[in-house]
Amino acid sequence: MKEQYEKLEELLDYYSDNYNNINSDQEAIKQLLHETQEIFDYLPADALQKISDKLDIKLSALSAFIKLIPQLKGENFKHKLTVCSGPRCGAKGGATILNAVEKELNVKPGKVTKDGTFLLVTQNCLKKCKTSPNIKIDEDIYHNVTVQNIPDIIKKYKK
Ligand code: FES
């Protein structure tokens, strides 16, 4: 497992050294996804998160390629839960919120829950700083989130 992630790091170093703006080169992104899949046999969510962080490619763009190209296999999940890791949410207890979500779902960022329901990710600012701390599930944003109301929010998506 560790070896696979080391290989991914090497691959990402290569792409970051050789492409100034990979977002303008769709072929390079497709190639990168194929090469990542060769390492893992599929495209795990946390590998996609690492690609996104290192090369500044939006996760949604990576997902779009996976949907488009039949040979690429993404990880299945029903809902994406995003916890804001931006500074304003951080100042209002964002780290505590992330901890509480991790505990509630029993999963770390970049991973899918065992039952395949949630992918947990973090994002640096959901652009709703005035109502921080915020989390997002799919396209629904929840404002002024507290540790206490996290279970209720999550429960709605479990059915
Ligand atoms: S820092 Fe969380 S929404 Fe901006």
Q: Are residues 72 and 41 in contact, defined by beta-carbon separation less than 8 angstroms? A: no
> Which atom in ligand 1 lies closest to the alpha carbon of residue 90?
1
| Separation between Cα atoms, residue 42 and residue 154, nearest integer Å | 27
What are the b/e assignments for 40-71, b being 16+ CB within 10 Å? beebbbbbbbbbbeebebebeebeebbeeeee
**82 CA from centroid of ligand 1 (Å):** 11
Q: Which amino acid is at 55?
A: L
How far, in Å, from the CA of 39 to the mean position of ligand 1?
34
- Average pLDDT score, the chain: 94
pLDDT higher than 70, residue 63: yes
pLDDT at 31 over 80: yes
For ligand 1, the distance from its centroid to the CA atom of residue 143, given in whole angstroms, is 10
Confidence tier at 158 by pLDDT (50, 70, 90): confident
| Per-residue CA distances from 16 to 9, 58, 155 (Å) | 10, 15, 40
Q: For residue range 37-62, what is the model confidence (pLDDT) as tens digits?
A: 999 989 998 899 999 999 999 988 99
Confidence (pLDDT) at 2: 72
For residue 130, pLDDT beyond 80 = yes
- Decide whether any atom of ligand 1 lies within 6 Å of the 134 Cβ: yes
What is the full DSSP assignment across 142-159?
Answer: E-S--TTTHHHHHHTT--
CATH for the stretch 79-155 = 3.40.30.10
DSSP 8-state secondary structure symbol assigned to residue 70: T
pLDDT tens track for 74-112: 888 899 999 999 999 999 999 999 999 999 999 999 889
Helix, coil or strand: residue 7: helix
Question: How far, in Å, is the centroid of ligand 1 from the Cα of 18?
Answer: 32
| Burial group, residue 98, by CB count within 10 angstroms (0-12, 13-18, 19+) | buried
The CB of 126 under 6 Å from ligand 1? The reply is: yes
CA of 30 to the centre of ligand 1 (A): 31
**Residue 1 scores a pLDDT above 70:** no
Verify whether ligand 1 is closer than 6 Å to residue 86 (CB atom): yes
Say if CB 34 and CB 74 are below 8 A apart: no
Q: Which is the closest atom of ligand 1 to the Cα of 94?
A: 2
